[in-house]
């Protein structure tokens, strides 16, 4: 059996989106073919398909059909990935207007290379997210039946086609999650002062814990995707629960996006959830007080008696009236150094006691 990977799209929609992106985070991807965009773990989409069709010797030959506009990209990819360059077929099109289309590209490969065997055709710029997908089973099923075989994704009821093929994206904060530095010395200075703990890890850990919680509770999440980014005006490293505030805000976004109600995730459990993101996923030493205030918002009476915590897993929380409170002033150092791990501070405090 022969495999033909079709990657002759001109990516005009993607190019437009990259050019119109005001964040500038994706400017370096301009002109890159969709199949060569970085995927999970930095691997290109085409890398996954090449690994799938090449490692198990399922096919006698593998061909790649592209266009003249993107041919150089795929030629270099082939050279770097031990793909036979002579099997990269150029359909000659340079724009969307003179494109041949998938059927004509397939016919070109068959005619120009005089292919005589059964052929599996794969859209090389689409990535199958199902980890249980086994291309060998597809071949076995095809050989057990007569005729042609087509595999497609069937949209579920209420699912929009625009939700497919869009990856969940977590965007780094330009200040708190630096990825570009003026020099190696700048990287050293910033890392020594601020550490390596930006907010991006908080978003990722919250998303992971949220999916885990919903799966355990039997809550079905709709198949729709999103881009998640954050900003904060809470001063860093001064003990004002800035990390848990980002987790709390992320959880609110996820609940609203997926229509998770108060009954699904009550406020007392929500405070525990936020704490567990920090303690279980990120190994941050923390307590419930800040998380309870973030969930209930405002002045809250809290009773963490041992009996309550052991019986139901959370304390007694009662919102209080704030109208008669005096004005509070807060003083903090505007440019602090890294405060260090909380666990060390706790050990130091206990030693003094």
Q: Which residues are catalytic, by number?
A: 290
Structural contact between residues 284 and 243, judged by C-beta atoms closer than 8 angstroms: yes
CA distance 157 to 304: 45
Distance of CA 322 to CAs 70, 273, 297, Å?
A: 63, 26, 11
Element (H, E) at 15: helix 12-20
Cβ 105 vs Cβ 65: under 8 Å: yes
Q: Which residues contact 55 (CB under 8 A, 6 or more apart)?
A: none
C-beta separation of 43 from 57 below 8 A:
no
Q: How far apart are CA 201 and CA 223, in angstroms?
A: 23
Q: How is residue 59 written in tokens?
A: 């096919």
User: Are the beta carbons of 171 and 229 closer than 8 angstroms?
Assistant: yes
Q: Tell me how far apart the alpha carbons of residues 49 and 127 are, in angstroms, rounded to a whole number.
A: 8
DSSP state of 242: H
Of residues 238, 234, 291, the one with CA closest to residue 267? 291
| Site of tokens 């009476």 | 301
DSSP 146-208: SS-----PPPPTT--GGGTT---EEPPPTTTS----SSHHHHHHHHHHHTT--SHHHHHHHHH
């Amino acid at each position: 059996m022969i495999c033909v990977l079709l990657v002759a799209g001109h990516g005009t929609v993607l190019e437009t989106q990259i050019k119109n992106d005001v964040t500038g985070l994706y400017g370096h991807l301009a002109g890159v073919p969709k199949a060569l965009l970085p995927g999970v773990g930095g691997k290109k989409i085409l890398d996954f398909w090449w690994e799938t069709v090449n490692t198990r010797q399922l096919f006698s030959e593998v061909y790649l059909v592209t266009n003249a506009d993107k041919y150089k990209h795929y030629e270099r990819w082939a050279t770097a990935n031990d793909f036979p360059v002579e099997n990269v077929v150029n359909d000659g099109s340079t724009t969307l207007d003179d494109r041949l289309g998938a059927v004509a590209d397939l016919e070109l490969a068959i005619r120009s290379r005089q292919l005589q065997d059964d052929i599996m055709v794969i859209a090389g710029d689409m990535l199958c997210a199902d980890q249980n997908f086994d291309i060998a089973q597809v071949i076995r099923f095809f050989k057990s039946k007569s005729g042609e075989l087509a595999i497609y994704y069937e949209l579920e009821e209420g699912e929009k086609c625009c939700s497919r093929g869009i990856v969940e994206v977590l965007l780094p904060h330009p200040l708190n999650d630096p990825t570009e530095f003026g020099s190696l010395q700048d990287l050293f200075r910033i890392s020594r002062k601020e550490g390596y703990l930006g907010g991006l890890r908080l978003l990722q850990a919250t998303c992971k814990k949220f999916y885990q919680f919903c799966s355990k509770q039997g809550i079905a999440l709709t198949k729709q995707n999103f881009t998640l980014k954050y900003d904060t005006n809470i001063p860093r490293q001064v003990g004002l629960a800035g990390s848990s505030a980002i987790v709390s805000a992320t959880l609110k976004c996820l609940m609203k996006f997926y229509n998770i109600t108060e009954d699904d995730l009550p406020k007392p459990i929500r405070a525990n959830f936020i704490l567990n993101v920090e303690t279980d996923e990120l190994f941050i030493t923390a307590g419930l007080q800040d998380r309870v205030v973030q969930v209930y918002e405002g002045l809250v009476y809290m009773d963490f008696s041992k009996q309550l915590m052991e019986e139901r897993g959370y304390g007694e929380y009662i919102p209080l009236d704030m109208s008669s409170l005096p004005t509070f002033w807060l003083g903090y150092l505007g440019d602090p150094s890294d405060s260090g791990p909380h666990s060390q501070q706790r050990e130091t405090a206990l030693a003094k006691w």
